[in-house]
């Protein structure tokens, strides 16, 4: 080995990686989807009703899901859209953000955040993260220019940005906040839920997210009636009714088939979250004692929902390989910082521009923390990591 992840020909950061079926090679697999949907019969029964009703676009099941989702988060409105990416892009469009504008977001985010901003025509302006994996709020103000039109904090890994401070900065500068809460369903900062802070927030229902469906789907939430009304137009071609178009919109509706799956699962979201939190605490107790592992700060005013269980590891590349060899399907989110990706070169950030993001790319490792992992599997992960460092 000895080859850094960032230099491998087929990086982990690939499309295939997101679609791998459950692997039998691993004692501790990463994907739990086959377990989660092991008995699809009740969903098939609901899908049969949908098919027989012919109610395929924005019908009853989508409305039901939107109501349940709004109640779950504790907001007035939830609008189902085509993906988590669109759940970030469409609220920016509803706020009339586009060409010539700038939107501030975290340098260490997943590509979709930056992609959503760029799709509106606005320029993504990146700010480094801190060890919470969220935007370093102390650096946000320096990134604000006369062109800044919104701030998009990212609740990455299920951690939460210091929203109390960020909202103060946003209010001082009169800037709307649109949260990227795709990884943060039911997370909280200072007792307030992600998705309820700003003008709007986007959630993803992608198969890899904590509340997931069988393909793409997303939800925008807002307490603002005007934004809700605009979003309902924008996601459906800007059509006021069959014959009248009031604004140029998109085709980005939450698919009815996915709404059926969502309706089946949404009642379990609190259970899923609580299991992930318990699993995270169990790892903290076991892995936190190992000298080569450093846990991120566990701020007591944050309810983190462990979309990912991500820690800092000495000799990360070697540990990662050791885990794979011993049957633990660890992951690295992500080995190449976004701003150093070829596709983002036009943004013009030179290597080294975001030192914390760079440091994280070299140190982070993620272990499976989903609601289906067993304590025996977690014990095995802890044992393998412990063995790795005791041999050094
Ligand atoms: C998954 C994700 C998105 C986008 O979600 P899709 O549903 O895949 O479009 C956006 N931001 C973050 C941080 C995500 O993890």
Ligand 1 mean position to 310 CA, how many Å? Answer: 17
Q: What token pair was written down for 195?
A: 């998705």
**How far, in Å, CA of 110 to CA of 191, rounded?**
26
Give the Å distance between the CA of 204 and the centre of ligand 1. Answer: 6
**7 pLDDT exceeds 80?**
no
pTM over 0.85: yes
For the CA of 154, the nearest atom of ligand 1: 13
Please, which pLDDT band fits residue 19 given cuts at 50, 70 and 90?
A: very low
Nearest to 103 by CA among 58, 65, 154, 63: 154
Reported as a pLDDT band with limits 50, 70 and 90, residue 25 is: confident
Q: Which of 113, 154, 210, 212 to mutate to test the pocket of ligand 1 (most atoms within 8 A of CB)?
A: 113
As a whole number, the mean pLDDT across the chain is 94
| Confidence bin at 13 (pLDDT 50/70/90) | very low
Residue environment code for 171-196, b if the CB has 16+ CB neighbours within 10 A, otherwise e: eeeebbbbbbbbbbbbbbbeebbbbb
Task: Give backbone dihedrals phi and psi of 102, rounded to 5 degrees, phi first.
Answer: -125, 145
The residue whose CB lies within 8 Å of the most ligand 1 atoms, and thus the one to mutate among 15, 182, 195, is: 182
The residues of the chain that CATH labels 3.90.1150.10 are 14-37+268-390
Q: CA-CA distance, 29 to 363, in Å (whole number)?
A: 21
- Whether domain 41-266 has CATH 3.40.50.10300: no
Kindly state the tokens that stand for 28: 């501790």
Q: Whose CA is nearest to atom 6 of ligand 1?
A: 84
Is 9 a residue whose pLDDT tops 70?
Answer: no
Q: How far is CA 180 from the centre of its chain?
A: 7
Mutate to test the pocket of ligand 1, among 15, 81, 84 (most ligand atoms within 8 A of CB): 84
Nearest atom, ligand 1, residue 116 CA: 10
Q: Is 22 a residue whose pLDDT tops 80?
A: no
Residue 261: name the closest of 63, 42, 113 by CA. 42
Rounded Cα gap, residues 54 and 52, in angstroms: 6
At 391 the pLDDT is 83
Residue 392: band (very low, low, confident or very high) from pLDDT cuts 50, 70, 90: confident
Computed on alpha carbons and rounded to an integer, the radius of gyration of the chain in Å comes to 21
Classify residue 46 as left (phi > 0), alpha (psi -120 to 50) or beta.
alpha
Question: Which residues sit with their C-beta closer than 6 Å to ligand 1?
Answer: 83-85, 109-110, 112-113, 154, 156, 180, 182-183, 204, 206, 216, 218
Q: Which CATH number fits domain 14-37+268-390: 3.40.50.10420, 3.90.420.10, 3.90.1150.10, 3.30.70.20?
A: 3.90.1150.10
Mutate which of 204, 208, 219, 310 to test ligand 1's pocket (most atoms within 8 Å of Cβ)?
A: 204
Say if residue 334 is preceded by a cis peptide, omega within 30 of 0: yes
Give the nearest ligand 1 atom to 112 CA. 10
Over residues 223-250, the pLDDT tens digits come to: 999 999 999 999 999 999 999 999 999 9
CATH 3.40.640.10, the chain: domain bounds: 41-266
pLDDT tens string 163-184: 999 999 999 999 999 999 999 9
Asked whether residue 10 carries a pLDDT value surpassing 60, the answer given is no
Å from CA of 4 to ligand 1 middle:
26
Among protein residues, the one with the nearest Cα to ligand 1's atom 2 is 182
The set of residues, in sequence order, having a beta carbon less than 8 Å from that of 263 and lying 6+ positions away, is 46, 61, 64, 65, 68
Which residue's alpha carbon is at the smallest distance from atom 5 of ligand 1? 84
Instruction: Give the per-residue pLDDT at 20.
Output: 47
Tell me which of 89, 109, 209, 310 to substitute to probe ligand 1's pocket, judged by most ligand atoms within 8 Å of the beta carbon.
Answer: 209
Look at residue 86 in the predicted model and tell me its pLDDT. 98
Distance 239 CA to ligand 1 centre (A): 26
* Cα 217 to averaged position of ligand 1 atoms, centre (Å): 10
206 Cα nearest atom in ligand 1: 7
Q: In sequence order, which residues have a C-beta less than 8 Å from that of residue 64 and are 6 or more positions away?
A: 259, 263
SS (H, E, C) the chain: CCCCHHHCCCCCCCHHHHHCCCCCCCCECCCCHHHHCCCCHHHHHHHHHHHHHCCCECCHHHHHHHHHHHHHHCCCEEEEECCHHHHHHHHHHHCCCCCCCEEEEECCCCHHHHHHHHHCCCEEEEECECCCCCECHHHHHHHCCCCEEEEECECHHHCCCCHHHHHHHHHHCCCCEEEECCCCCCCEECCEECCCCCCEEEEECCCCCCCCCCCCCEEEEECCHHHHHHHHHHCECCECCCCCECCCCCECCCEHHHHHHHHHHHHHHHHHHHHHHHHHHHHHHHHCCCCCEECCCCCCCEECCCCCEEEEECCHHHHHHHHHHCCECCECCCCCCHHHCHHHHHHCCCCCCCHHHHHHHHHEEEECCCCCCCHHHHHHHHHHHHHHHHCC
């Amino acid at each position: 080995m000895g080859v850094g992840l960032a230099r491998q020909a087929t990086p982990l950061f690939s499309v295939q990686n997101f679609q791998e079926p459950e692997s039998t090679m691993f004692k501790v697999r990463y994907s739990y989807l086959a377990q989660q949907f092991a008995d699809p019969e009740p969903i098939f029964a609901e899908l049969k009703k949908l098919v027989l009703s012919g109610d395929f676009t924005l019908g009853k099941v989508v409305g039901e899901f939107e109501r349940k989702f709004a109640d779950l988060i504790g907001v007035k409105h939830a609008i189902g859209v085509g993906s988590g990416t669109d759940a970030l892009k469409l609220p920016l469009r509803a706020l009339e953000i586009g060409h010539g504008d700038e939107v501030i977001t975290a340098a260490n985010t997943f590509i979709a955040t930056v992609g959503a901003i760029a799709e509106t025509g606005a320029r993504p302006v990146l700010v480094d993260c801190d060890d919470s994996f969220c935007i370093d709020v102390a650096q946000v103000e320096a990134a604000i220019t006369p062109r800044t039109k919104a701030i998009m904090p990212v609740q990455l890994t299920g951690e939460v940005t210091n929203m109390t401070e960020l909202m103060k900065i946003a209010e001082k500068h009169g800037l709307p906040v649109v949260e990227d809460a795709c990884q943060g369903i039911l997370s909280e900062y200072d007792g307030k839920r992600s998705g309820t802070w700003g003008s709007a927030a986007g959630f993803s229902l992608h198969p890899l997210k904590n509340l997931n469906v069988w393909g793409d789907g997303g939800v925008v939430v807002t307490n603002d009636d005007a934004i809700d009304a605009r979003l309902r137009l924008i996601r459906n071609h800007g059509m006021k009714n069959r014959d009248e178009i009031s604004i140029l919109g998109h085709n980005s509706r939450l698919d009815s088939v996915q709404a059926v799956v969502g309706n089946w699962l949404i009642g379990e979201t609190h259970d899923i979250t609580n299991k992930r939190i318990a699993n995270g605490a169990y790892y903290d107790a076991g892995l936190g004692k190992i000298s080569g592992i450093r846990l991120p700060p566990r701020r007591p005013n944050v309810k983190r929902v462990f979309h990912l269980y991500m820690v800092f590891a000495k000799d990360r590349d070697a540990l990662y390989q050791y885990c794979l060899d011993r049957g633990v399907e660890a992951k690295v989110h992500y080995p190449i910082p976004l701003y150093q990706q070829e596709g983002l070169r036009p943004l013009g950030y030179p290597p080294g521009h975001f030192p914390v993001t760079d440091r994280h790319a070299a140190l982070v490792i993620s272990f499976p923390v989903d609601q289906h992992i067993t304590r025996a599997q977690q014990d095995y992960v802890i044992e393998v990591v412990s063995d790795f460092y005791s041999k050094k």
